[in-house]
Structure 1
Amino acid sequence: MLDPWLGFAITVAACIVVAIVITAAVSLAVRLVARKKSWPSRLVGYARRPFRALLLLVSLWIAFSLAFPDRDWLDTIDQIFTMVAIAAGAWLAVALVRFGTDLAIGRYRIDVPDNRVARRIRTQTLILRRLAIAVIVVIAIGAALLTFPAVRTVGASLLASAGIASIVAGLAAQSVLANMFAGVQLVFSDALRVDDVVVVEGEWGRVGEITLSYVVLDLWDDRRLVLPCTYFTTQPFQNWTRQGSELLGAIELDLDWRVSPSRMREHLAEVLAETALWDSRASVLQVTEATGGLVRVRILVSAADAGTLFDLRCYVREAMVSWVQRTMPAALPVQRVMMTAESTEPQLEEPRGDNDGLFTGSAEAEERRSSFTQAIPVVAGGRDDGDRSVDAEDAGDQRSTA
């Protein structure tokens, strides 16, 4: 009679050989299909390892179920194989989801000028992939836990109180669920897409990633700004590529009144004709203000996207400044100061014809002033202090008499 363990070893070897044969057959079939199309090779790259692991696991499970000598351990072995098979199946399902979404994304290129539809498809596909992977992981964990009898009993009691549990879970995960629903709303409302150019919180950047909880912006100086999804559903923001990437930009110059706008307009046409940054949609030069001693000239140009527009504005500004310096130096902005000559000698008032009522300007006016102010006459010639005191007493007597 054949030894049970030897029979088990033979069964295991046979099952492994069958698994290898099936793997080789599938690989051959994929190679034959890959001669005409490119997607089978990509499928092999994603699903080779999880498929082989699942197939090998199933073959071993069959071998253990058929020929394992110690039947008392069979229930435990079946539970272990069930949990591992669930994990391998989830791994294969995730690989297939990644393959499908990458295949869908690959059909729409975003490195072309008109890529609005491609960016929308890419953003929605990435969100769907994250949702699908999250659902697969949750289902796999739940299925693995339900292999335990105690967990199944607890699950039944939880289902009985599902109303209370849902309320508690909703309150505990309110912010998480709000961000998740906000992320889905952003993607499927087409309000925000990957690679969109936006201005948020005064920062200019591109949308690098949209997840179920946050949005990552790649700023122009290589910084990363991370914002919750609820920000974009509750706060205003600028989306420069909502319908298209074409933009208008302004260049303003403050110049002297002696500038010639017509000559500047002619030179602007020459400057724009020499650069590939301009998309030929808009070229305007206007004098928008002429106050404060200067003339403000505004130049309006257009470009295919935000980055090109910034380079075009810098190019036009530099070209116009250099041209004004070279051809019209009188038009450079200056500050004018009016200088007037003033005499340093005091200006005497002309005598008025009518001195009635005045206290200066004539002998009668001086006499009138002395009678009102009782001025004390001072006699030059070196009189001593006694004489001056006598004069002061006389003046006092005169005031008393008056």
Structure 2
Amino acid sequence: MTASSEQNSFSKGMKSDLVAEALRRRISDERWSIGTKLPTEPELAGTYAVGLNTVRRAVGLLVDEGIVVRRQGSGTYVAGLPPTPRRRLLGVLVPSTSYYYPRVIEGIERAATAAGAGVILASSENRLALEQEQTRRLLDNGVDGLILVPNLNLTDDPQVHVDALHRLPVPYVLVERRPPRPAPDDPTSYVVTHHAGGVFAAMRHLASLGHTRIGYVGRRRTGTSALITEAYELATASLGLEAVPEASVQRVEWSSEEIHDYAAVCRDRGVTGVFCHGDRDAAMLLGHARRLGLRVPQDLAVVAYDDDIAEFGDPALTAVAPPKSDIGASAAEFLLRRITQGPDVPARRLELQPRLVVRESCGGSGNFAGTDRRVRAVTAST
């Protein structure tokens, strides 16, 4: 089965499961008595904004459970009330609740609410010891599964850290992290942004505007810094751009003085475009570039990665926008399916393609560059 057909099959299965759960709740909440006729399948398809085949599969699940019965030529009727289930609880552990992850959390909560599940949120505050403590607290609160963003960038051996998660007593899904050196039978499910695709989109856009000397304001020891840096270097070589080592710099944290010095290097070395791993560093660069007499975007075009606060820059920043809400929703749907259907559900690995939002820092006016091709690849382990 191809990746795309496997994804389509999985999506259909998730949708029918969610519609079936919605019908169970509706039968219980509205206290439909035995013998009550359900709305027609076309009406249900309209109500839940899904296809007719999805509704048929969902109703079929209720038939198999003895909750409804189909009567040829008459319709579908309630045959028995569903048991009152305990509300599922998803534990969510992120490194921060103030940057990058709020929209991921929104996606998780949206998918959980649609399935009648609850969410317990915790933050590790980018600390390994607190990550372990918060994981224990979530388990002590009786969560049925975990959505985790582990601090792999802070460990001496990230794969050992991931392998330790296999011993968790509940199913889990990683978000924006993946096993770095997985064994062929690694059971880890994850949902991530295809970061390299976003970097290439940014670099290709700058090159299309005529920039050949493109600098890099990078970060060290973040969860994605190695991926972003590697993609920048690969894009520079693949697009035939001129490497400028003095303008390709990484820091754990960038101070205002360091950004000022970097802007001076761009001015003095003829760097006309810069890719920044982070909106805040990019916004600082805009201010210091102008103080040095550089016009943005005429003398220096800037593209940021994250698109958290990019639109509020002066001028507004062109930015790579990871599909954060979709990342969260997909992870929650993965986890809920595993919780409801058990350990026989195969592991899933999903990459979603980010998009490039073109704004004034590259001379644009808020258009999306390229197509919004979200699903990059899906594989399943058996």
Q: Which has the higher helix share?
A: 1
Range class of TM-score, shorter chain: under 0.3
> Larger Cα Rg: Structure 1 or Structure 2?
1
TM-score normalised by L of structure 2: 0.19
More relative contact order, 1 or 2 (CA 8 Å, 6+ apart): 2
TM-score normalised by L of structure 1: 0.19
Q: Which has the higher strand share?
A: 2
